[in-house]
Structure 1
Amino acid sequence: MCGLLDKVGHSRFREFKGISLTLATIIILAVVITITLAFSYWVGGLTQVFLGFERVEVSHVEVVYDPDGWSGSGFAASGEGWNVSIGLVNKGVWDSTFTDFLVNGKPMEVYSGDVVLIDPEGNCYTSSRDLSIRLKAGTSTTLTVWIKAGGFRHGQVVSITLQTARGGSFQRDVMLT
C-alpha cells in the first residue's frame, strides 16, 4: 500500500502532530490585523479625498475712490472710479483656482472694461474667459478690482463674487464710498 502503512496497518503520519491550537490562533490573528490595517489606510485615503473642503475667507476689503483713474502693468483706466482691494485667505484643505468673477451677479465682460480684476502679479482681466488665479491651501493673497464710475455711483452697494473651478462661490458686498 505504497508504504504509507506500517506492518501493523497504522498510518505513518500518526507520529506527526498538527500545529497547536495556540499557534493557529496567532496566525489567524496576524492575518486579520494585517487586513484590518490595510483597510483602514485605504478608507483613510478615501476620506481625505471625499471629505476635503474648499474654504476661502475674505480677510479685509478696502474701497478707495480715485478721481484720476488707475494704471497698472499693461492696463490703464481713465476717468474716475474705485479701487477695491480684497484680501483672501484659503483656510480649506484644497488649493482653490478662481475661474469666474461676477459683479452684481453678472460676468465682468458685461461691463465692457468698466470692471477690471487685477491679480497680485499685475495681470488684468476684463473677461472670465482667461481667468485662472490660484490660491494654495493655507495661503493668502490680495486681489484688486477697478470699478469705473460710469455705471456706478457713490453709496452704491456692489456684490462681488469669486467662483472656483470646484464650484465654490465666495461673495462679498462692498459700498462704493
Structure 2
Amino acid sequence: MTERQKQIIAAAISLFLTEGVSVPTARIAKAAGVSNGTLFNAFATKQDLIDAIYRKTKSDMLAVWPNPAGRNLDRAMMRANWDAYLGWARHAPDDHRVMHLLKDSGLASPQVKSEVDAQAAPYGAPLLEAFETGAIRGPSVNFISDLIFTQIDLVIAHNLTGAGEDLAFDMLCNTIGLD
C-alpha cells in the first residue's frame, strides 16, 4: 500500500465515523489533501476504498493475535487472544469502530469478506475444534465467536480495566464452559 493510499484511508476512516459511509469522495479527497482524481487513481471506485479499509482493519487486528498453529483452545490461549484484541482496539479505536461499521453495514464486498475470512480461518480453527469436541459449549461456533467479540466490545464500551476486565473474561469463560 502506498503512502498516498494510507493517507486517503486515514481520511476516509475519520469521515466515515463522523459523517457516515455515504460521505462524498470529494470530501474524502479534500480531507486527505489530494484531488478527487488522485483519490480515484489510488482507488478506482469508492467500493475499492471501502474494501481496502475493511481489509486493512481486519488484517491489522489479526496481525496482533498469537499464532494458533498446533494449539488447542484453553483459557491461556483465550486470554492471549482477548488481550491482543483489546490492545489493538484500544490502540486503534477508529480502526476498530470502522471495522464494525463496515461489517455491520454490509458494505464490504462479498469478495473481500471471503478473502478476509480465509485469512482469519487459522485463528478460528482452535475455536471450531473446541466446539466440535465439546470442550466449549454454545448453540453454534458462530454464536460463540460473536459472543466473544461482543463481550470484548462491551469491555471497551464500558471502559473496563483491571478487576472489571478480569471479571468480564471470567464470565465469558464460564458461559462457554472453558475451564
Structures share fold, TM-score greater than 0.5: no
Give me the TM-score of the superposition, normalised by structure 2: 0.27
Task: Specify which structure has the higher proportion of helix.
Answer: 2
TM-score (norm 1): 0.27
The higher radius of gyration belongs to: 1
Give 1 or 2: higher strand fraction.
1
